Structure 1
Amino acid sequence: MKEGLYQIKDVFIDKNIGFKEARYQESLVHKKLIKTLGHPSRCVFTLLLYYLYGSIWDVDIEVCGGLYPLGRGDKFRLCMGKILTSDEQNMLQSGVKQLSRALGLFKFVWETAGMKGDLEVQGHLWCIGAKNKSFTYRNNMFLLHSISC
């Protein structure tokens, strides 16, 4: 991934071009990254889009939350949440995996950008009929919250 970041550091965009031309140029950049790195890296391309546009639109997840300071030190907590429509095991696993990828991406950007302070990430899932519990997945804390009707 860090090799991919070195490839995109000198890329600039022209925001005065049309939507179709912008998408075409993005596909060319994606192909160049694949050729340079030797393998497709969707995550590096996502970082490139964030670097260029300041937003991410190919991470398809309903997210709420934010970044909060912890105490007076240099610790921060990033909270993200997702609402699920069912408490079935496969739905929960899918939600946890999506949140984990999004949290991991933000943590990677935090570390790569050399931000000061430690970042703790936390995922929240809300689901009708679920039992409140907390668990760890890939060294990240997740909390399952019940929604009552």
Structure 2
Amino acid sequence: MIQGIKYILIKLKLIQPSERDIQIWVSTKRVKRIEYALEHGNYKTRKLAAEALGETGYTSSIPILFKAINDNVHNVSIAALNALETIGCDDELETTIIKKRFNWVKSKREKDAKLEANKGKKYTIYRWERASKKSFDRVKEQLKRPMR
């Protein structure tokens, strides 16, 4: 009874489902509610819903998970990819899309790790940069002097 009222409030967009609500929906096999949370929730709710759809394993939720792959929040798209991998798609096109997206996620993580490793590194100033700065300062000084 309380879950029904809570779901109506969620549909009216007055509240967001909590992690406990989503776990209750998983245990009672309420896949439509989880799919609704994946489509209309905030980013934390969408991530939890994608993980929950992976746990349920229903193949009927594959199209909604494919929509979630293109989510702006990377955690949601990664959770949707993991859910699709858990469910196991038989279609060749779907597996190709999943592999390409995982390669993209892997390259993005490597790039972020490389940026983090080079964060505190100091770079040397080349001679031409110093020379150009000196000449710029010289011209600036000449402009300050009165013209004859």
The answer to whether TM tops 0.5 is no
Could you tell me the TM-score, scaled by structure 2's length? 0.27
Structure number with the bigger relative contact order (C-alpha 8 A, sep ≥ 6) is 1
